[in-house]
Amino acid sequence: MRRRASLVLLALAVFCAALAPLLRWYAYPRLAKIPPGQYQEMVLEAKDATLLDYAGGMQPKKVDKVTIVQTLKGNVEASREVEADAGKDVVVWDTLTYIIGPDGKMVSRIPERYLFDAHTQDPVHATGEMVDGDPVKREGIEFKWPFFTEPRDYLYFDAQTRTSSPIHYVGPRTYRGMEVYCFEQTVPWTKVPMPKKMPIEGIDPATIEQTTGTTLWYTVKARFWVDPVTGAPVNAEQDIQQEMRGGIAAGAPDGRLTAFAGHVTIRPDYAKYTFDLVASNRTKVLALHTYAPAGLAAAGLALLAAALWLEARGRRREDGVSA
Amino acid sequence: MRALVAAAIGLAAALALVLAVTAFGAPEGKTSPKPLLTTAPAAPGK
């Protein structure tokens, strides 16, 4: 009877010992990925911001609040089409950044299509990749860092300039009790395309530069606090400035009109919601990557020890009986 | 000999489990019917 029990324990020990590395090095790389059908919303606010009053004499004015609503929507059908060509798991996010003034009216809207490898978050290029209708070819990351983010600089895509530049690793931080990495990117004053939708009556944003000589300039200092396990930002802050120069801004001091200037932060309820979501996903990733393999390895060793002990005890008894 | 058979059973079971789980993979899901938002929700998910 003891012999049979020790054999069962031995089988279980091998099962656990084999499962531990298989989970960590075979299953985890295949299972840890961004789901293609993800839907996520985020609300950010810039309090006491400066906003160009398009309807009231084209002068910058202080406003209580500008709201930015950002939605990410995974397009599963488009993912399948791209995957067929790319031969790997691809996520296609259709996103909309919708900016709302204090009166509730649209200030600007920027749609994007972002394609990336579901496992590594490396960009994938296919027809349809765009920012505000302009075809782009992203380098680096956008919105999310890779799983198990490293404490180093990354290339980060800025949708306004349509270019990628380094986002610097600043150091570790503690955010709501979670150990996170802080990254910072500064985009210097850069001429950017006019948004396709602007709240200016009678002016076509597509031809405003050619017809009036007005150009749009932008600078940002962005900071992200990123959970290194999931690579998901848990907090973000941006100091954004936009100016119109020349043309309709020619009469302003230095020929510059502030279109927007503000410190953008996540609305507190969304900050908590995002943190809770990331914390939950962090536990799932760690379970597959660390907790389960380590637990199974320990269980395998314990079961093997128990099997050997039972076997040795059984043999001693047999020796005693035969003697 | 019986010990070897027991170890082989444990190894085969582990391989079968991992291969089955990775073959099924995570569910693909569907594109959400929710729209891209043009108003700020009163609360997350509302």
Write out the E strands in chain A: 39-53, 59-74, 90-100, 106-117, 130-131, 134-135, 154-158, 163-175, 178-192, 215-226, 233-245, 256-266
ipTM for the complex shown: 0.89
Chain A nearest CA to B44, separation (Å): 6
In tens, the pLDDT along A205-215 reads 778 888 888 89
A273 touches chain B (CB under 8 A): yes
Element (DSSP H or E) covering residue A311: helix A292-322
Q: Is A126 helix (H, G, I), strand (E, B) or coil?
A: coil
Q: What are phi and psi of A84, to 5 degrees?
A: -60, -35
C-beta atoms of A106 and B38 within 8 A: yes
In tens, the pLDDT along A158-185 reads 999 999 999 999 999 999 999 999 999 9
Mutation target vs B (from A3, A70, A71; most B CBs, 10 A cutoff): A71
Q: What is the pLDDT along chain A (323 residues), one digit of tens a residue?
A: 567 889 999 999 999 999 999 999 999 999 999 999 999 999 999 999 999 887 777 789 999 999 999 999 999 999 999 999 889 999 999 999 999 999 899 999 999 999 999 999 999 999 999 999 999 999 999 999 999 999 999 999 999 999 999 999 999 999 999 999 999 999 999 999 999 887 776 667 778 888 888 899 999 999 999 999 999 999 999 999 999 998 888 788 788 999 999 999 999 999 999 999 999 999 999 999 999 999 999 999 999 999 999 888 888 777 776 65
Enumerate the residues of chain B whose CB falls inside 8 A of the CB of residue A35: 26-29
Instruction: State mean pLDDT over B1-28.
Output: 91
Q: Of chain B residues 1-46, which have a CB less than 8 A from chain A? A: 2-3, 6-7, 9-11, 13-15, 17-18, 21-22, 25-32, 34-41, 43-45
